[in-house]
Amino acid sequence: MICYLNGKFLPVEEATVSVMDRGFLYGDGLFETVAVYQAGLFRWDAHWLRLERGASHLGIPLPCSAIELQDAAVQVIERNQLSNGVLRITMTRGIGHRGYSPKGAGHPTLAITSHAGPALEGAPLQRWSAITSTIRLPAGGMLNSLKHTSKLPQVLARAEADFAGADEAILLNTSNELAEGASSNLFWIEGTTICTPPITAGILAGVTREFVIELCRGIGLEFKERTAPQKALFEAEGVFVTSSGIGIAALEKLDNRPLPTSKVTSRIYDDFCRAVTTEFGRSS
């Protein structure tokens, strides 16, 4: 696999980062996971804006422009002949001195890797099981809204899901409200209303989440951001999660208890697939 690292394209086996890089030492950085459909970047502008916003919050100078990064991403896709999958863009503060102070780290590290995945068109809606993680996210925490590389809570939640043989872990916040999945955003259906936790619940606003919200509004489904306890999922007509890596997956079991299923989830998934197919053309 060919990756991009600080302006160069090289085999991933030859790509090295300093042990003094602050991303390695402290998780001092940001990342984006960009879906690739038919060799095209999905919602590139939204990913760039989130990366730009995160860099501003953390005080990390962007090492390139949006056009330059997009060109590098496209080249990674072409050099790996990637048709469907994801790109992982990682940017750290770079090499610095020992200690928490970011002083002296003036040259960010920027890397792009590609990871193949199945085509979306014709693929059935994935149906997942989940567990409720023991990890809690801070309600209203500003850092939760940034896609930073210090994702230890999500790593631990995912480890719990792996141990239980589940596909995902659902995290609550410190107010005991629904927040998000370890690597996904959470939705549930109440009557004709599609609900999802607000940013203030301590979630990361996913790019696919925003796209699904647009879809729901476009097909006339009522949408609401609201806080809710875990029991809302068992009382809902349907539950699903979204992410750049999987698109949409229905949750059919939580903590070994069945969750209600809804045709609305399938409708949203079908519209999602149709929108992607329209934008990027038919799968080969």
**pLDDT tens, per residue, the chain with 284 residues:** 999 999 999 999 999 999 999 999 999 999 999 999 999 999 999 999 999 999 999 999 999 999 999 999 999 999 999 999 999 999 999 999 999 999 999 899 999 999 999 888 789 999 999 999 999 999 987 888 899 999 999 999 999 999 999 999 999 999 999 999 999 999 999 988 999 999 999 999 999 999 999 999 998 899 999 999 999 999 999 999 999 999 999 999 999 999 999 999 999 999 999 999 888 875 43
pLDDT, residue 84, reads: 96
Q: Which helix (H) or strand (E) holds 113?
A: strand 109-116
Q: How far apart are CA 221 and CA 215, in angstroms?
A: 9
Q: How far apart are CA 214 and CA 227, in angstroms?
A: 20
| CA separation, residue 100 to residues 25, 115, 148, 250 (Å) | 9, 32, 16, 41
pLDDT in tens, 115-152: 999 888 789 999 999 999 999 999 987 888 899 999 99
Token pair 């750049």: residue: 244
What domains appear along the chain, each with residue ranges and CATH number? 2-116 (3.30.470.10), 126-280 (3.20.10.10)
Token representation of residue 78: 């072409």
Q: How many whole angstroms from its chain centre is CA 35?
A: 9
Helices (H), ranges, 202-262: 207-218, 231-235
pLDDT, residue 284, reads: 38
Residue pair 33/244 in contact (Cβ under 8 Å)? The answer is yes
Q: How many CA atoms lie within 13 A of 278 on its CB side?
A: 6
Strand partners, 34: 87
